[in-house]
Chains A and B, each alone.
Chain A
Amino acid sequence: QKEVEQNSGPLSVPEGAIASLNCTYSDRVSQSFFWYRQYSGKSPELIMSIYSNGDKEDGRFTAQLNKASQYVSLLIRDSQPSDSATYLCAVHNTDKLIFGTGTRLQVFP
């Protein structure tokens, strides 16, 4: 079992819709979680972090964490074509971040 698992996609949504990206992790003691966005040919950039169960909102982005289910998600409201990218889930594990394989999101006009 991989430490951090994501569906590779692609996830295709129409412009203006809500995109829902999911991630599960295996280490139950993990306490902090991150979402990074990576455009093709570019390096990852941090979108959000979350540490507590529940929802955390930042603009059009909402991160959700359920530690009991070992599940993290990212919702993107009012999706725009510029949101088309790969979204990487990362879990803090003994002084380093462990990344999932990423989910490719395609937002079509």
Chain B
Amino acid sequence: DTGVSQDPRHKITKRGQNVTFRCDPISEHNRLYWYRQTLGQGPEFLTYFQNEAQLEKSRLLSDRFSAERPKGSFSTLEIQRTEQGDSAMYLCASSTTGDLDEKLFFGSGTQLSVL
């Protein structure tokens, strides 16, 4: 296991469709994060899991977004009824601890384009 894996790398969809992304973290990492990044901006926090428990969601996150990590391993991020403003790079990251020395390792991301 060499790193965080995300699938698909690119997704083009029409407005109103649902999309789902998958993230496989580094195997020994119990924390998993989802971030969103648009051009010229830094990654924006969406939500994170400790094992299978979702511990925090950004208050800016629309109800159309839902994330799961059912067995504490891989995670999925679903966007329902996509809008053009959802177009962004969706980044997954994992880490081993939640302490001050927490270092996040990012996957390659899923680039979403909503037409």
Q: Which residues of B contact A (CB under 8 A)?
A: 33, 35, 40-45, 48, 55-56, 91, 98, 100-109
Contacts and interface: CB of A to CB of B under 8 A. Distances in A.
A101 B56 contact: no
Contacts of A25: none
A49 B101 contact: yes
Interface of A: 4, 6, 8, 31-32, 34, 42-46, 49, 51, 88, 90, 92, 94-102
Given A34-B103, A49-B101, A92-B100, A44 B48 contact: no
A102 B42 contact: yes
A101 B103 contact: no
Given A8-B40, A49-B103, A51-B100, 17 more contacts: A6-B42, A32-B100, A34-B103, A42-B108, A44-B43, A46-B104, A51-B101, A92-B102, A95-B55, A95-B56, A96-B48, A96-B56, A97-B45, A97-B104, A99-B35, A99-B43, A102-B41
B45 A96 contact: yes
B100 A31 contact: yes
12 contacts: A31-B100, A32-B101, A45-B106, A46-B105, A49-B103, A95-B48, A95-B56, A95-B98, A96-B45, A99-B44, A101-B42, A102-B41
Given A43-B109, A96-B56, A101 B100 contact: no
Nearest to B47: A96
Contacts of B45: 96-98
